[in-house]
Structure 1
Amino acid sequence: MSRLRTVTRRLPLTSTLVVVVLVLSVWTRTLWSPLLGQPLRDSATYGLPALEEGAWWTVVTGAFFAAQPFQYVPILLGLIVFGGFTEWRLEAWRCAVALVSCHLFAVLGAAALLWLTRDHGYEWTTTLARVRDAGPSAGFLGAAAAASVTLSPPWRGRVRTLLVAYVVLFVIHMGGLADLEHVLGVGFGLLLGPFLIGRKPALTVRHLTRRDFRLLASGFFVVAAVEVLLRPFTTADGPFAVTMTREARAEELANTDVLLGLVQVVLWLWLARSLYKGRRWAWRWAVGLLVVVIVIQVLNLGYMVVVGEQGLLAAGWELFGNGLGLAVCLVGRHAFRNPSVRRARRTTGSLVAPADDDQRSRATRLLQEQGTVNRLAWMTTWPENRWFAPSSVNGYVAYRVHAGVAVGLCDPVASSEEDRFVLLGAFANAVHGQGLVPCLFTVTSEASHHARAQGWHSLQVAEEAWIDLPSLDFVGKAWQDVRTALNQAAKLGIRFRIGPLADMPRGIQMQVKAISSEWVEDKGLPEMGFTLGGVDEALDRNVRVGLAIDEDSTVHGVTSWMPFHGSGGGDPSGWTLDVMRRLPQGFRYSMEFLIASACLTFKEEGCPVVSLSGAPLARTRPSAGDESLDRGTLDTFLDRLGASLEPYYGFRSLHAFKSKFQPRHEPLYLVFPDEAALPRIGLALSRAYLPGAGVRDLVTLARSGRD
């Protein structure tokens, strides 16, 4: 009871409306007797007929009733959920404005639209023009759409997508007066929301991330499954079914195979789940199915035009919807590169053929057993890589192919320096044999010397920051910022938690994903990849994720730590920082607290070293001995690219931030065989980091580089 009283005090408007609707339903007996069959109908139902009769007050009175008794269930639940959400986010008076204005706009707008379009041969609007309705559903749905403006990404987009998908699907397949009002109410609420918080509405276009494309493609097939479920309930009065007579529709429903429909629903949901995971096979099946369906629909549409058959509007809508789904899959094809578990394809000859889960598992096992000298090497196990693993050497080279260049990632993985030297030469020969240009990115000094011994060139591209843990004590003036972070966290009750993200509670995982999505969406360019991991990579159970969590279980910051297996393999001999994300309104010193806490934890575990990784495209001066290396066109390109990306991704600021932890620095290099290939290598690197970038993004980069 105490919790109920707390909610009532916090949501007075919503609580009052729920009580009023419930009391009126009992007093007028509409809770068990249909309103449309009572004398009260003319005073408590709205619609175009009521307005034409001069009963303008029904627009207000009708909001407190339901046309049918069973409709009180969704109305009361809707008031509690959507109305409560709106009042919680906007407070009572803004909630009242949103509810009233969205309800009035939806009811009056629907009446005006029906008045303009009735009796012009469009059966759907002509039929609805004679219908009466009741209830506040358009008001609370529109108010919830308005309140979504207060949410931060990605929840704002997700709530809006769900609301729009719901009202659009139901107006298409159900086509009732309430469904039309819902569309108008939600649309008006989306426009009203910014005004309620004191700013003008602005249409912003952001770049879609890999996760966004997966959600959209998956959502398309979920919607397709829902449409199959709604098909038996679709009326002949829907906006896209108006050319079909009721008799024809009844015959179609009678001939519908229920079992076949259920099988189709299961298949669509299974495909949606696989697309959400980014499976390559699912993307191929989705594209293939959509292409076949679209071809059939185009031929069918042409036949209908030739013979004059009815149903062109419905057929055209289905063709448009499937075309939109195909466009999402094709534009976002880079988001579906995770190989199949069940249908893994073995790649033996071609370096450009896709890899599979077996190869990734073998590479992970080799890294754990053989080890290597590069502390960033765990990123060579990420699923978007390919792996060159000749039978003559017990090791591999991870690489990606862009613009005709095989871009190797980190040093070759093998237990001995001799094997790593052999792997480099074998990789170069295999790549040249395929007509590609070889290079290796973010390699250590060892690989740089090996490359130059084979006649290659070397160029420093970053610096790795690393810390010796046995001597770490956070004592002295240089550590003042770190001590402040630890002390402030203790005062605020923020604690450190570390472990595999995949094993943490679902609520924690959702918060981590939301923080990461919001960070990505705040950038002016697409999500970067290649040497930069995200939540997908952090879900690897071999990766440990550090969290800053307060007493309310709110996550303020996230870091992920990749294992480092030194030469000879075995248990991790160190950990490498990858993901760094902070809740924008959260604890100010989250990153300092997380990194310091992780270092202390690893030190207690007996770990000798941690790497803060290397900020890509950020470096200080060339290291000693680097002056003799070739520095030319690509060096200039990397400097310009780093400067252009700085306002968006802050790599150089990140490089400066890591200096708070007094790290040592080791140079990381790009090695390549021929200076003539520098333009292609530069393009390949830009594509590797920004696989989803388009022409507009490159123009943005070019302009920022000149400023």
Structure 2
Amino acid sequence: MSEAPPSPPVERASTRLDAVRAIVRRYARENPVALIVSVLIVASAAATGSLWGEDASAWGAGPLATFASGRWWTLLTALAIPDSTVDAVSSLLLALTVLAYAERLLGSRRTGVLLVVLGIAGLTVGIGLHAAAWTLTDLRPVVAAEVPVLDPTTPIAGVVMAASALAPTLWRRRLRLVGFALLALFALYAGDADSWYRLTAAVIGLAVGSVLARGRERRSWHRSSTRETRTLLALLVAVVGSGPIVALVSGGGRGPLSLVVDAYTQYDDELLSRCGSVAQSVCDEQVALLMTRGAGPALLAITPLVLLLVSAWGLRQGRRSAWIVALFVLVSSALLPIVSLLDGRLRIDPWVDGSGAEYVLWALASIVIPLALAAALVVARARFTVRATRAAARTVAAVIGLAFLACATTLFVVEAVGRRSFDRELSVLDLLGLTLRRFFPPAFTNPGGGTAFPHHGPALFAYQWIGVLFWAIVVGAILWLYRRVRRPDAGDGARYRDLLRRGSDTLGFLGTWEGNRHWYSDDAECAVAYRLAGDVALAVADPLAPAGRRPEAVRGFSDYCVEHGWTPAFYSVHSETLDDLVELGWRHVPVGVETVMDLPGLTFAGKTWQKVRQPLTRAEREGYTAVWSRWHELTVAQASQVVAIDEEWVADRALPEMGFTLGSLDELRDRDVRLLLAVGPDDRIEAVTSWMPSWTDGEITGWTLDFMRRRTDGPNGMMEFLIAKAALELQAEGAVVLSLSGAPLADDPDEPVDGDPAPLRSLLRWLAEVLEPAYGFASLFRFKGKFRPRYRPLALAYRDPLQLPAIGAAVGRAYLPDASRREMVALARTAWEGRR
């Protein structure tokens, strides 16, 4: 096969530059308002100096700055000028991403109008509520004082929430759930005025969006309630875990729930100030915390919050171990202040000096919210059924136990050797108690008397960091445990074959290959073959289902994956299955093309078949024959020759052999697979092909080409010879379809090529170019074109665009599961040299 010479580097660089320009022009054409807002943010930040940290608060809005001073124009300037470099960068990114998405939903004109209207409305209402709250004495401790607000994200929040009403169901729920969770997080914990104004604009935008979407038809999108419950609870746990961190980063926070931050600080400033005049039993402990402060104690203090964030990650995947960790941390966090109240360590005199509301909010943040969330987890415990293997659980328990023993022993020895660095003499029992306390955050320890602490040396370093090291090991062990889950039974392969013989498409036989698992409906009439790569379940080819039940099979398999914490995806499905998936709200991207020959009436006559007819007649004239066989029917000599041909083919590339939907020598051994050998006059096998059957109503009506190998020193045209002979002889046997299988990452030549493809499509085309020197997918596709096939597009169907990176990685692992590091380097080198 002749190939076109590679394009010169300058031409390729020019092509890439043109592609980038086309993407930029398309973005500017679709998102003019987002670009204008981005330019306005940068220009206003540069003009006022806030871009490099200068104070621009004179342009801000607030109860005093806007209402009392009569500077009404600040309602506009506050929406365009950021107050800092960080604010400018974050606002710019939000404008170019989420605002651009909202503009595509709303339209540019409506987006521009809503930016102004919702921004002014959010500021006006927010400022009014701020002023009203400040007039109430009980709320003053938790209401931010007058600080002029500059925040371009306020109108963006309002517009995005308005646009969410017009988004598809998946993104509507995602925008609202994640959006309001983040907005509430900053408002309730950080508590600065701009967080509340931003939240107010979002609420108003939500109401406006419901008006804009009135009368619109909503497409239903199937989504398991299990997945919804897991996502919602994981998000709530993440908010509870990250909220105090936000408050800590923002200087302690002023939000109504920021009072809980005291439980996660190294020491209590207010208590220390009182210790100067009034002796209390906890003063020594607070002085110890103050004197030993640093990065290590700070990390130890927020360990419960880190554990909540780690558990939120596992809850989203349905992990039972994450459920246990979250429940333990939430209950412990809620019981801590209760115990402190009961033993007198924490004293509260409510309703004194107008602080009653503050104590109510403290109790809400510290006790009620953790207990309520823990109760919700208990109620929903049936949703978190993905368990780790017993061996993995035992391993984690052993690792944590050994880590504790090693860390505790090390700390005890270092403290014993460095006794002189302590402020007083310590007994063995004192050292032992001090050692145990260093594995718990400060808020969870409640000593009965004074606390000893080291002032310098190795003892101080161990005192600060040994607990952090232990909990780092614990977090790593939990994350490792998430990956070691019990896999359900792989399914009965014999039952899948029975359903396959009832009726299957041309690629259905791929589901019988080693490494695939099988899902069955409750009545065992529907089946899906899938390959599990990490947490992604790649369904191979089309589902097996009776007429009219394919959507049911798709939904059942998807629910099954969600139940086990997997991401479902359908790989290499035809248009019929794709239509059913699209109706259920799935998205898709082309991943290849199947080439199919219709056998009835095939003769290879005419000029258009000349490229096939010439190799066929030449091979027959030179004495070559096409011999049908099966692997178990081969003689020892024939089997040895086939193995040698395959080994020669693999060794010639020095690259990892691909699998998944590309068969290897192992798949030839199936008794249902037929082999067609090109045998020369001297009985030497020159080429070998394998053919997989497909059935209709129990009868074989088609065959699919899989394995193709030929000797590198053999005569040309052997593959054309074998495929042509297979077509004619299978036609005589009564077959109606001959599939030459799929060509990965190929485009249908019968369909017009999109001159301005979507980014993902562009990425796939680029990937095809990169892999071409290594595997020759495009060359193989052009070769199959000689047989004038009918083209059937193959697609990858996925439910959530955010899952595409994980799905792409899973496809790579499925195709190259056993590739060594040396082979991957060889693949990269071959691809690079082919691109030069």
In the alignment, the residues of structure 1 paired with residue 335 and residue 100 of structure 2 have an alpha-carbon distance, to the nearest angstrom, of 47
Greater shift after overlay, 322-331 or 243-252? 243-252
In the alignment, the residues of structure 1 paired with residue 321 and residue 63 of structure 2 have an alpha-carbon distance, to the nearest angstrom, of 50
Shift of 1:587: 10
Shift of 1:108: 0.6
- Classify 1:544/1:6 alpha carbon distance in 2 versus 1 (closer, same or farther; 3 Å): closer
Task: Tell me which residue corresponds to 1:135.
Answer: 151
Task: Tell me which residue corresponds to 1:174.
Answer: 190
Task: Tell me which residue corresponds to 2:116.
Answer: 100
> Aligned letter for 2:26?
T
- Aligned residues of 1:82 and 1:141 also touching (Cα < 8 A): no
- Aligned residues of 1:210 and 1:334 also touching (Cα < 8 A): no
1:582 aligns to what SS in structure 2?
helix
Q: Over alpha carbons, which structure has the higher Rg?
A: 2
Task: Tell me which residue corresponds to 2:389.
Answer: 341
**Residues 474-485 of structure 1 mapped to structure 2, 5 A cutoff:** none
In the alignment, the residues of structure 1 paired with residue 260 and residue 313 of structure 2 have an alpha-carbon distance, to the nearest angstrom, of 35
In the alignment, the residues of structure 1 paired with residue 696 and residue 87 of structure 2 have an alpha-carbon distance, to the nearest angstrom, of 61
**Residues 214-363 of structure 1 mapped to structure 2, 5 A cutoff:** 214-233=230-249, 234-235=251-252, 237-241=254-258, 247-248=269-270, 257-261=297-301, 263-299=303-339, 307-308=348-349, 311-343=359-391
Task: Tell me which residue corresponds to 1:10.
Answer: 30
Task: Tell me which residue corresponds to 1:162.
Answer: 178
Shift of 1:372: 6.1
Q: Structure 2 stretches of 5 or more lacking a match?
A: 1-20, 263-267, 274-285, 351-357, 395-482, 501-518, 542-550, 598-660, 664-671, 674-689, 699-836
2:78 aligns to what SS in structure 1?
helix
In the alignment, the residues of structure 1 paired with residue 222 and residue 529 of structure 2 have an alpha-carbon distance, to the nearest angstrom, of 32
Deviations 1:14-65 (A, max 9, x none): 222222333333334443363446xxx2x55454432222222221233221
- Aligned residues of 2:315 and 2:384 also touching (Cα < 8 A): yes
Shift of 1:76: 2.1
Is 1:557 aligned to 2:598, yes or no?
no
Shift of 1:4: 2.4
1:500 aligns to what SS in structure 2?
strand
Task: Tell me which residue corresponds to 1:67.
Answer: 83
Task: Tell me which residue corresponds to 1:661.
Answer: none
**Residues 433-448 of structure 1 mapped to structure 2, 5 A cutoff:** none
Shift of 1:610: 9.1
1:606 aligns to what SS in structure 2?
strand
In the alignment, the residues of structure 2 paired with residue 85 and residue 250 of structure 1 have an alpha-carbon distance, to the nearest angstrom, of 51
- Aligned residues of 1:48 and 1:129 also touching (Cα < 8 A): no
Is 1:582 aligned to 2:582, yes or no?
yes
Deviations 1:233-272 (A, max 9, x none): 2435332357999952998996683131464454334333
Is 1:606 aligned to 2:692, yes or no?
yes
Shift of 1:165: 1.3
Q: 1:51 aligns with which of 59, 62, 67?
A: 67
> Aligned letter for 2:374?
L
Q: Structure 1 stretches of 5 or more lacking a match?
A: 347-356, 379-408, 411-440, 443-461, 467-496, 513-521, 559-579, 613-707
Residue correspondences, number? 438
- Aligned residues of 1:556 and 1:587 also touching (Cα < 8 A): no
In the alignment, the residues of structure 1 paired with residue 28 and residue 121 of structure 2 have an alpha-carbon distance, to the nearest angstrom, of 28
- Classify 1:327/1:105 alpha carbon distance in 2 versus 1 (closer, same or farther; 3 Å): farther
TM-score w.r.t. the length of structure 1 is 0.50
Q: 1:152 aligns with which of 146, 157, 168?
A: 168
RMSD, matched Cα: 5.4
- Classify 1:205/1:287 alpha carbon distance in 2 versus 1 (closer, same or farther; 3 Å): farther
Shift of 1:138: 0.9
1:56 aligns to what SS in structure 2?
coil
In the alignment, the residues of structure 1 paired with residue 180 and residue 696 of structure 2 have an alpha-carbon distance, to the nearest angstrom, of 47
- Aligned residues of 1:219 and 1:272 also touching (Cα < 8 A): yes
**Residues 511-550 of structure 1 mapped to structure 2, 5 A cutoff:** 533-534=560-561, 545-548=570-573
Q: 1:210 aligns with which of 226, 236, 240?
A: 226
Is 1:32 aligned to 2:80, yes or no?
no
**Residues 386-405 of structure 1 mapped to structure 2, 5 A cutoff:** none
In the alignment, the residues of structure 1 paired with residue 69 and residue 534 of structure 2 have an alpha-carbon distance, to the nearest angstrom, of 63
- Aligned residues of 1:175 and 1:235 also touching (Cα < 8 A): no
Task: Tell me which residue corresponds to 1:500.
Answer: 531
- Aligned residues of 1:139 and 1:185 also touching (Cα < 8 A): yes
In the alignment, the residues of structure 2 paired with residue 83 and residue 5 of structure 1 have an alpha-carbon distance, to the nearest angstrom, of 18
Deviations 1:327-358 (A, max 9, x none): 33223222222221255789xxxxxxxxxx99
TM-score w.r.t. the length of structure 2 is 0.43
> Aligned letter for 1:57?
W
- Aligned residues of 1:547 and 1:557 also touching (Cα < 8 A): no
- Aligned residues of 1:213 and 1:328 also touching (Cα < 8 A): no
> Aligned letter for 1:62?
A
Deviations 1:177-204 (A, max 9, x none): 10111111111122221222344999x9
In the alignment, the residues of structure 1 paired with residue 497 and residue 574 of structure 2 have an alpha-carbon distance, to the nearest angstrom, of 28
> Aligned letter for 1:582?
V
Q: Per chain length, whose mean CA-contact separation is higher, i.e. which structure has more relative contact order (CA < 8 Å, sep 6+)?
A: 1
Deviations 1:494-530 (A, max 9, x none): xxx99736389x8x989x9xxxxxxxxx99xxx9979
Shift of 1:140: 0.3
Shift of 1:377: 11
In the alignment, the residues of structure 1 paired with residue 565 and residue 697 of structure 2 have an alpha-carbon distance, to the nearest angstrom, of 16
- Aligned residues of 2:127 and 2:197 also touching (Cα < 8 A): no
- Aligned residues of 2:308 and 2:325 also touching (Cα < 8 A): no
In the alignment, the residues of structure 1 paired with residue 269 and residue 581 of structure 2 have an alpha-carbon distance, to the nearest angstrom, of 59
> Aligned letter for 1:19?
V
2:578 aligns to what SS in structure 1?
strand
